[in-house]
Amino acid sequence: MPDLIAPRPAATVKPRDIVVGGQAVAAGRRTTVELEIPQLYTHTRMVMPVHVIRGSRAGPVLFVSAALHGDELTGVAIVHRLMRHKLLALSYTQH
């Protein structure tokens, strides 16, 4: 399984990019990466969607997680609201 965030970008990635699940995310970009997670006991492949919102300027980093136990759905609604919040929209430039 690839590292969630590579400490050093690969040579083919721009220096300011970060790598999440093997996908480069440039400054000022917003994308969804599907990370592979361990298979179920039935050998069903699983992925976890990770929304990456990368600011256009250097600054603090925030990690938000929800539904770790599967039935705690209130946290998912809060994360969706956070992703649409106007202050978060000011931190990146959509390309």
> Who's near 73: CB < 8 A, 6+ residues apart?
67
**pTM confidence score:** 0.63
Residue 21 φ/ψ region, left for φ over 0, alpha for ψ in the -120 to 50 degree band, beta for the rest: left
Task: Please write the tens of the pLDDT for every residue from 26-64.
Answer: 888 888 999 999 999 999 999 988 888 888 777 777 788
Per-residue pLDDT reduced to its tens digit, 55-74 = 877 777 778 888 877 777 78
